[in-house]
Amino acid sequence: MINMSQSLNEIRQILGNEADDFLNYTCRGIPKENLYPPGPDFIERIVEQSDRNNRVLNNMQRLFESGRLANTGYLSILPVDHGVEHGAGADFAPNPIYMDPKKIIELAIKGGCSGVASTLGVLGSLSRRYARKIPFILKINHNELLSKPNFYDQTLFANVDQAYKMGAVAVGATIYFGSQESRRQIKEISDAFDYAHDLGMVAVLWAYLRNPDEFIKDGVDYHDSNDMCSQADHLGATIEADIIKQKISTKNRGFLELGFGKTNKLVYEKLAPTEGLSEACKMLEWNRFQVANCYMGRVGLINSGGPSGENDIQEAVKAAIINKRAGGWGLIMGRKSFQRPMEQGLKIIRAVQDVYLNKEITLA
């Protein structure tokens, strides 16, 4: 494993002319003093106050003590459930070696990841060999696109007992907040997380918005609107998710523009302000508001890496800086790392980790 980290100057070069805004801005909506920031003592400082039992704390500690970010209070997770969610041909065609579960786990281990999140089939096929070598997060529900017409629902493909028997440290699940099926999913996953905690496992929620008929208006997609994503985060914390995965917010005012839900003008004017700010500073404010909705950081916010594109290192480093400076716990990045040759994927994973290892990059 390569342990050399990029310097702040190297990170600045990746950020280009946005470097000062990303690295020097101080959030004026929710001040950093109000947060419970990540750190190597987070479990003792915050989590042990909760109703989680000692086995949950042990498994959470194992996540925090694994990989390149061990004992920093930050996480770097490789998620590969895309063969179900997007289609194996669709997402593995750029690099078909990852149709082999062993290559997925190899990427996570070589990349110094804190854990690997995947399906029952992927993790179960190698659990005896690898579950003790890298923390497993079993994703128990999925959407699939073989149904015609496609629809948006998360169906249980696995259960909590299967995660426990394979030696997973955590269960993961998605709720499509805003979908017609969301109320059933909330109950289903709340029950699953409760049982997972009883068995000593950490609960990780993919808290995604999904309603293309209602959440897109006049060509603008509000699935990553800050006010709506933050409410999804808050609902996830309510069902006792320990870690919440969410998209980086790139816009706001979804509730107002779509004309539903309840909000307050102070959300836009004071708590997540945008007036006079650059896009970089807006994203720091918006994602700080996400952390605030995760009980001011008591629940860990990890952001997704998003789809693969032409500027993946730059976009991944930006996402990591937004997450870290907002008060989040880390990045969970899949397609940017596995849809390319392994060495290139490892380079992107390490570039993200370098942001969290750099002590000069602090809370905004």
Provide the angle, in degrees to the nearest 10, between the axes of the packed helices 8-15 and 342-357: 120
Are the beta carbons of 36 and 103 closer than 8 angstroms? no
Give the closest residue to 246 by CA, choosing from 211, 276, 216, 205.
Answer: 205
First to last CA, the chain: 31
Q: Cis link prior to 79 (omega < 30° from 0)? A: no
How wide is the angle at C-alpha 139 spanned by C-alphas 88 and 195, nearest 5°? 160
Question: For residue 341, is the peptide bond before it cis, meaning its omega torsion is within 30 degrees of 0?
Answer: no
CA distance 57 to 31: 28
| Residues annotated as catalytic (active site), given as ranges | 245
How is residue 241 written in tokens? 């998710």
